[in-house]
Amino acid sequence: MKILVTGAGGFLGVHVVERLLAHGYTDIRCLLRDPEKAVRLTKLSESYPEAELEFCYGNLRSKADCARAMTDVSLVFHLAAGLKGSAAEMFADSAVASRNLLETLETREASVVCQTRFVLVSSFGVYGVAALRRGARVDEQTPLETHPELRDIYSHSKLRQEQLFWEHQQKDGFELVVLRPGVIYGPGGGAFSGRVGLQVGPLFFHLGGSNLLPLSFVVNCAEAIVFAGTHSDSAGQAYNVHDDELMTASRYLREYKRRVQPVRSVRLPYFVTKMLARSLETYHHRSQGQLPAIITRYKAASIWGGNRFDNSKLRALGWRQLVSTPDAMAANFAYLRQKERPQ
Amino acid sequence: MSLKIAIVGCGKIADAHVEEIRKIPSVQLAAVCDLDPIMAEQLASRLAVPRWYSDAGKMLDAEKPDVLHITTPPQSHLALTRQAVAAGCHVYLEKPVAPRHCDAEAIIAAAVASGRKLAVNYWPNFDAPAIELRRLLDTGVLGRPVHLESFLGYDLAGEYGTALKRDPQHWVHRLPGKLFQNVLDHVLNKIVPYLDEDKLLIQAMAYRGDAAGPDTNPDRLLNELRVMVRGSHTSAYATFSSHARPVGHSLRVYGTKNTAHVDFNARTVVLERKQTFPSALGRLFPPFLTAKDYLRQGLTNVNSFSHSRFHYFDGMRRLLNEFYLSIERDSPPPIAYSEILRVSAMMETIFQQVYPEVLV
C-alpha cells in the first residue's frame, strides 16, 4: 500500500512520517514544496532500513502535480494547508489545494475510489464555539462554524477545506477520516498560541487567563493521526485531537517565563478583552479599516470564551498519549530556550 | 448616478479593491468573478459581496456593470479588457498592464475604439506625498527637474515574495520581465511624467542578490535591478532592490531650485533647500529646516490619521474616486494613456536588456 503524505516536510508532517514508519508502513511518498525539507526526512528514514521514502516535489495548487503525487496511492494523509500569507493565498493553499487533490479521483475507477482513504488534518478552528456558554465542552458533536468570515482567515480556509472533503466523500464514496487537532506544540513550533495571548510591540497581552488550552504535543498528535487514520473503524468519523492532561493558559505562560525567558505581560480579564474588542471593532468600522480589528467580540468569544475540550472519542478508538505532558513540556521549553537564548 | 462595479480575479490584490471601492459612497460593488469558482466564493463570503461568478462573460451579461476591475494575472488583461469594453464597461486595470508592450497598446486601443475609459492602478501617484510633490513642482518651488531617483524595495521573505518563491508555476515567473515586471510600474510611473521625449537612452542591469537564498524556481529569478535613463533635459535612476533594508519606497527629485525627497512609506516630503546664509551659517541651519519639515509632515500625518485618511491604499481610493468621476462627468481619465504606454514601452526596453533570451 502506497501512502501519500502532503505537507510531509512541515512541523507536523515530519512526525507523521516518523509515526508511519514506526507503525511499520514503509512505502511512503512525501509531497514537498521545498527540496531542502527532504534532508530531515532522509535522516529520519535511516533509522528504518526497510523504509522506502519517495520524495515528490510539487505544489498542490497545480492539478498536474496533484495527479503525479496521487499516482498508485491508496491512503492519503493530507496535512498541507495555508498557514500564512494573504487571505487568498491561505485559502488557495488549503481549499483549492484540497479540491485539486480530490479531483484526481475523477480519473480512477469507482471500485478503486472506494478503496482509497483520505485522512484529513483539520482543526479545532472549524467549530462554531462563539455562542457556547463559558465552560461548555467542545466535542465532535459541536456544530461547525457558521460564520467563518467573522472568525479568522485560517479558520475560514480550514472549514471550507473540511466541507470540501465531506462533499466529495458523499459524491465519490471514498473513505474519509478527519482529525481536528487543537494547539499543536513542541520542538520546531512556536512559543505561544493565540489562545494564550497576543504580542503587541514589547508587551504580551495575556488574554487566555485560566482557560484550558487544547494542547497536543506534536508527537502525540502525529500518533493520533496515524492511529486513527489507519484504524479500520474510523472511516466516516471525525476526532478531536488533544492530550489528556491539559494546562491553563496562565500556567503555560508562567512556565514559559520560568523555563525559557522573562516576558513583559499584561493579563486582561475576559470582560476587559470583550470591551477592548468592542472598541477596536467600532474604531475599525468608523475609520474604514485604518487599523485592523485584531480582536473582535466574535473572535474573543471563539478563542478566549473558556471552553473545555473532549478527546474521549479518540481515546475510545484506542489512542493513547505517547509522551506524557510533563515530558512534552520539558522538550518544548528546552527547544524554545535554545531558540531564544542559544548557548 | 451610482456606478455598478464588478471585479474579475479574486487573488490577494482583489481584497484591496473591494475595500477601497467600498469607501466611495457613490458606487456599489455588485459581484466578483474568478475562473476558479471556490476562489470567487471565498472572496464573496469573506467580504460579503452579493454575488459571485466563475465566468466573466456570464457576470457581464447578468450584472451589466458600469466598471470592471480586472485583477487577474496580466496574461489575461487584453482578452478581458476587450470583453469588458464590448459589454460597455469602463475598465480599471491592475498593474502590470500586459506582458508585452504590443498588448498594452492593444488594450488602450480597445478602450479608445469603444469610447470606454480605462485606468491602471498606479495608486502611489495619487497618495498624499505624490500630491504634495506635484504641488511643489507646479508652484515652481523645485524649479525644473534635472534628475530623479526612484527607489522601490521588496521583501522576498514577505507575503508576496514567499508566494513567488514557493510556486514555480506562479504567473509572475511566466512574465517576460518576471519579478521586475510585477513591480516596476510603481518605479517608472513616477519618473515618466518628467521624461517626455519619445527617444530615451535606457541602460539597465540586473543580477541575483546573494542573500536571496535558494528557491525552487526553474528560471533564474533576478532580484536586483538598476536602470539609468537619459532624456534631453532630465535624467533618472530607477532602482529595485530585494535586499536593501528598510524596504523603501521613495522618490528624489533634483530641481534647478531645490531638491525634494518623497518617502511613500513614511508619507513625508522634505525639501533640501539652496543655502541662503553665508559661509558656516549656511551649513548650520539646514538640519533645523529639515527637522521642521519632518515635524510638519508628522503633524500632517497625525491629522490624516485622526480623520481616518491614513490607510495604506489611500492613494487607490483617491485614484478610484477620480476615475469614477471622470466616467460620470465624461472628462479625461486621471492617468493619460500616453503615460501608461510610455511606462510599458520603457519596461519592455529594460526587460530586453536584462532577460535578452526571453525578449528578443
Per residue in B322-343, pLDDT tens?
Answer: 999 999 999 999 999 999 999 9
Task: List chain B residues with CB under 8 Å of A87.
Answer: 12, 15, 42, 46
Q: Are B14 and A156 in contact (CB < 8 Å)?
A: no
Report d(CA B72, CA A319) in Å as an integer: 47
In this predicted structure, the answer to whether residue B162 has a pLDDT above a threshold of 90 is no
In this predicted structure, the answer to whether residue A186 has a pLDDT above a threshold of 80 is yes
Q: Roughly how many angstroms between the first and final C-alpha of chain A, as a whole number?
A: 45
pLDDT for A267: 97
Domain interval for residue B194: 125-313+345-354
Q: In chain B, how long is the greatest CA-to-CA distance?
A: 72
In this predicted structure, the answer to whether residue A1 has a pLDDT above a threshold of 60 is yes
In this predicted structure, the answer to whether residue B275 has a pLDDT above a threshold of 90 is no
**Are B132 and B113 in the same domain?**
no
Q: Strand pairing of A203-206 and A265-267?
A: parallel
Q: Which of B65, B87, B120 lies at the terminal end of a domain, its last residue?
A: B120
**Are B276 and B187 in the same domain?**
yes
Q: ipTM > 0.90?
A: yes
Q: What element of type H or E holds B15? A: helix B12-21
Phi, psi of A52 (to 5 degrees): -120, 80
**A290 lies in some domain:** no
**A297 lies in some domain:** no
**A285 lies in some domain:** no
For residue A152, the chain B residue with the least C-alpha distance is: B46
pLDDT for B157: 83
**A280 lies in some domain:** no
- B253: Cβ contacts below 8 Å, ≥ 6 apart: B133, B137, B142, B145, B147, B148, B194, B259, B260, B262
**B318 lies in some domain:** no
Q: Which of B120, B150, B178 lies at the terminal end of a domain, its last residue?
A: B120
Contact between B124 and B132 under an 8 Å Cβ cutoff? The reply is no
pLDDT for B218: 46
Domain interval for residue A86: 3-190+213-247+308-340
**A198 lies in some domain:** no
**Are B63 and B145 in the same domain?**
no
**B70 lies in some domain:** yes
Angle between the N-to-C axes of helices A218-229 and A13-22, in degrees from 0 to 180, rounded to the nearest 10: 60
pLDDT > 90 in chain B, percent: 84
Angle between the N-to-C axes of helices A325-340 and A249-259, in degrees from 0 to 180, rounded to the nearest 10: 50
**A10 lies in some domain:** yes
CB of A98 within 8 Å of any CB in chain B? Answer: no
What's the CATH code of the domain at B240? 3.30.360.10
Mean pLDDT of A193-207: 96
Q: Tally DSSP H helices, then E strands, for chain B.
A: 13, 13
Measured from the Cβ of residue B336, the count of other Cβ atoms closer than 10 Å reads 12
Model pTM greater than 0.90? Answer: yes
Per residue in B177-227, pLDDT tens?
Answer: 999 999 999 999 999 999 877 789 999 999 998 654 555 454 568 999 999
CB of A290 within 8 Å of any CB in chain B? Answer: yes
**Are B98 and B35 in the same domain?**
yes
**Are B189 and B149 in the same domain?**
yes
Per residue in B206-217, pLDDT tens?
Answer: 999 865 455 545
What's the CATH code of the domain at B32? 3.40.50.720
**Are B250 and B308 in the same domain?**
yes
Per residue in A209-252, pLDDT tens?
Answer: 999 999 999 999 999 999 999 999 999 999 999 999 999 999 99
Q: What is the DSSP string of B201-247?
A: EEEEEEE--GGG-----SS----EEEEEEE-SS-EEEEEEESSSSS-
Give how far A30 is from chain B: nearest CA, Å.
17
**Are B97 and B115 in the same domain?**
yes
Nearest to B237 by CA among B262, B212, B254, B257: B254
**Are B199 and B301 in the same domain?**
yes
Phi, psi of A16 (to 5 degrees): -65, -45
Please give the C-alpha separations between residue B360 and each of A336, B5, B229, in angstroms, as whole numbers.
53, 39, 21
**A221 lies in some domain:** yes
What's the CATH code of the domain at A65? 3.40.50.720
Q: Which of B87, B105, B120 lies at the terminal end of a domain, its last residue?
A: B120
For residue A63, the chain B residue with the least C-alpha distance is: B169
Interface probe for A, chosen from B22, B36, B46, B170 (most Cβ of A below 10 Å), is B46
**Are B116 and B129 in the same domain?**
no
**B53 lies in some domain:** yes
Burial letters A217-237, b for 16+ CB under 10 A, else e: bbbbbbbbbbbbbbeeebeeb
How many structural domains comprise chain B?
Answer: 2
Contact between A306 and A137 under an 8 Å Cβ cutoff? The reply is no
**A288 lies in some domain:** no
Give how far B167 is from chain A: nearest CA, Å.
7
Model confidence at B156, pLDDT cuts 50, 70, 90, reads confident
Q: What element of type H or E holds A97? A: helix A97-103
Per residue in A84-115, pLDDT tens?
Answer: 889 999 999 999 999 999 999 999 999 889 99
How many structural domains comprise chain A?
Answer: 1
